[in-house]
Amino acid sequence: MSSIDTEIVGTPPRTEAESAKRRDIIDGARRVFFDKGFDGASMDEVAKTAGVSKATIYVYFSSKEELFEALVRNDRARSAEHLFEVDDSIEDVGSLLRRIGLSFMTMMIQPDHIRLIRMVIGIAEKFPRIGQIFYDAGPCHGGRRLADLLRQQADLGRLKLDDDLAAAYLFLNMCQGPHVKGLLFGDKAKPTQEQIEETVDLAVRVFLATYGARPNA
């Protein structure tokens, strides 16, 4: 990195144009990381793919690790917002859980999501901060968001919960069934929509059998 680059490393974006440029860099990085992997990716390739100079990248990100962290945070935030777009008119808790479970699994089995999980696992020992960021922004954030929704349902008398966070993690884990691990370990047979629905429906039934409110209970 040149002395000029060094002077501007970490300068925060201040304008809408700068924010758009940052998004362009992250989008370019996503394509390079998913194609080359973390170790195989270079800032030169990211710059070329994003259509910017390498010096411009260093305005926003001080290293490849920091750029990958931003990619992880960005992708996890977008996934969480999509997952918890809940229709307030849904009053049946089973229907609500089914909608969340199907949305969750649609996201989890996407090839890019599987690639991202593999990359994070592969570099977590060398860069534990990245692993922690992924865990906090992904599973933990999703669990907390679902726990909030479950608590709202409990307050409405539709569920009986002792530990809303534990219940949230249980439901999300049940929705995955064998499908996500299979893909992570190289199973090329992507689960069908019917298989996903069967797994989610089973998760909903088991969850409601455990936590569903019962009349006069």
Q: Supply the CATH number for residue 34's domain.
A: 1.10.10.60
Check pLDDT > 80 for residue 14. no
Q: State the residue for tokens 């699994």.
A: 105
Helix (H, G, I), strand (E, B) or coil at 5: helix
Of the candidates 12, 43, 62, which is a domain's last residue?
62
In this prediction, residue 141 carries a pLDDT of 87
- pLDDT mean over 105-118: 91
The answer as to whether 23 is a domain residue is yes
- pLDDT mean over 74-84: 74
**Residue 26 is which amino acid?**
I
Same domain, yes or no: 58 and 76: no
Lookup: tokens for 20: 């758009």
Tell me the whole-structure pTM to 2 decimals: 0.80
Check pLDDT > 60 for residue 150. yes
Structural domain range at position 148: 72-211
DSSP letters of 139-158?
Answer: IIHHHHHHHHHHHHHHHTTS
Number of residues in the chain: 217
Same domain, yes or no: 79 and 138: yes
Same domain, yes or no: 85 and 175: yes
Same domain, yes or no: 130 and 24: no
Question: 101 falls in which pLDDT band (50, 70, 90)?
Answer: very high
Same domain, yes or no: 57 and 146: no
Question: 78 falls in which pLDDT band (50, 70, 90)?
Answer: confident
The answer as to whether 57 is a domain residue is yes
66, 70, 57: which is closest to 8 by C-alpha? 57
Q: Are 114 and 184 in contact (CB under 8 A)?
A: yes
Measured from the Cβ of residue 95, the count of other Cβ atoms closer than 10 Å reads 12
- pLDDT mean over 169-188: 92
The answer as to whether 41 is a domain residue is yes
In this prediction, residue 179 carries a pLDDT of 93
**In total, how many domains does the chain have?**
2
Q: Distance between CA atoms of 179 and 43, rounded to whole angstroms?
A: 34
3-state secondary structure 18-69: HHHHHHHHHHHHHHHHHHHHHHHCCHHHHHHHHCCCHHHHHHHCCCHHHHHH
More confident residue, 217 or 150: 150
CATH number at residue 193: 1.10.357.10
Same domain, yes or no: 77 and 45: no
The answer as to whether 103 is a domain residue is yes
The shares of helix, strand and coil residues in the chain, as percent rounded to the nearest 5, are 75, 0, 25
51, 43, 49, 46: which is closest to 1 by C-alpha? 43
The answer as to whether 182 is a domain residue is yes
Q: Distance between CA atoms of 1 and 22, rounded to whole angstroms?
A: 19
The answer as to whether 113 is a domain residue is yes
**pLDDT averaged over the chain?**
86
Check pLDDT > 60 for residue 54. yes
Same domain, yes or no: 125 and 53: no
Q: Is 33 left (phi over 0), alpha (psi -120 to 50) or beta?
A: alpha
Same domain, yes or no: 176 and 87: yes
Same domain, yes or no: 111 and 168: yes
Q: Distance between CA atoms of 205 and 212, rounded to whole angstroms?
A: 9
Same domain, yes or no: 16 and 115: no
Same domain, yes or no: 82 and 186: yes
Same domain, yes or no: 33 and 107: no
- pLDDT mean over 128-139: 89
